Amino acid sequence: MTVSLRSFVPFAFAAAVSVLSPAPALAAEQFINVLTGGTSGVYYPLGVALANGIGKAIPASKTSVQATKASVENLNLLQAGRGEVAFTLGDSLSDAWKGNEEAGFKTPLKKLRGIAAIYPNYIQIVARADAGIRTLADLKGKKISVGAPKSGTELNARTILAAAGITYKDFAKVEYLPFGESVELMKNRQLDVTLQSAGLGVSALRDLATSVDIVVVSIPVDVIKKTNDPAYLPATIPANTYRGQTTDIPAAAVQNYLVTQDGVNNETVYAITRALWTGLDQLVAAHSAAKSIDLKHALDGMPLPLHPGAEKYYREVGLIK
């Protein structure tokens, strides 16, 4: 089921979009670092596919793909000029633009610029079937992994659990681990449950479901409403997304974005944006989550200014009049 993202409040373009100035010619050699996430997540394979597309679009460029702790680290690296393109969750992006210190941003990251809204992340809570977990209330007293510290996943975990009336103190144990490591501990019965914010069919959870019987825990709509955050939307994990999951499961979703920073020149970002939208087949081949990426929704809910290079592309294709 595709999540409708129309309920995101669009950023006012009059304030968000810079006036295009003549773009400098592309340098003979450019370094383009794509900031992703853990190798067992969705950002990384999509980042590899995107980097390949960028390399073809800008033949003189040297592209690299960096595995990171995802959203929060990516945005701080961009602000510091240590990357040119990054994947991020929408709530983390909004926090970075505003400067939410509790979310990992000591000051507003005003160098960030938007490229596109891409696909929704589903907040997926998956337990071992023998752990006795069927509802959010059953999580209390269990051993859980919530993602790397202050990652986008961990911020999602704090938000959803708080809305359900659960704090980290309610667990027997809390681990802050990437997806793959969380799954290995679950296989070894050292953890009962993992919360992973990722596209549907994330490889770590597919791996878990082929090794042990699982239960996908539902996140009711009333819990999502209690987050009081418009970035969180009701969604559905379709039946048979994972082995043994035979029914649709209510869940929460948060939009993902592709972003850059204002130090990257207009023509480079134009080429990156064009590579994204003309190379969707390669992204879908890299991960099925990319099936939800749709040009019609490229500007949905963008919580910060669009980069002029991206704006140029969207004007050419008629998305911005």
Give the tens place of pLDDT for each residue, 76-124: 999 999 999 999 999 999 999 999 998 999 999 999 999 999 999 999 9
- Cα 18–chain centre separation: 25
Q: Mean per-residue pLDDT for 48-72?
A: 96
pLDDT score at 28: 53
Least confident of 27-41, 141-155, 275-289: 27-41
pLDDT score at 7: 38
Q: Specify the residue for token string 């009701």.
A: 234
Cα–Cα distance measured from residue 43 to residue 34, given in angstroms and rounded to the nearest whole number: 10
Radius of gyration of the chain, Cα coordinates, nearest whole angstrom: 19
Query: Which class would CATH give 13-119+256-316?
Result: alpha beta
Across the chain, mean pLDDT equals: 91
Delimit the domains of the chain by residue range.
13-119+256-316, 121-254
Rounded to two decimals, the pTM is 0.80
Same fold, 13-119+256-316 and 121-254: yes
Choice between 297 and 9, residue whose per-residue pLDDT is larger: 297
pLDDT score at 247: 97
Q: Mean per-residue pLDDT for 132-153?
A: 94
SS3 136: helix
Cα–Cα distance measured from residue 259 to residue 256, given in angstroms and rounded to the nearest whole number: 10
> Looking at the predicted structure, is the pLDDT value of residue 8 above 50?
no
Beta-carbon contacts of residue 169 (< 8 Å; ≥ 6 apart): none
> With pLDDT > 70 as the criterion, what percentage of the chain qualifies?
91
The CATH T-level fold of domain 121-254 is: D-Maltodextrin-Binding Protein; domain 2 (3.40.190)
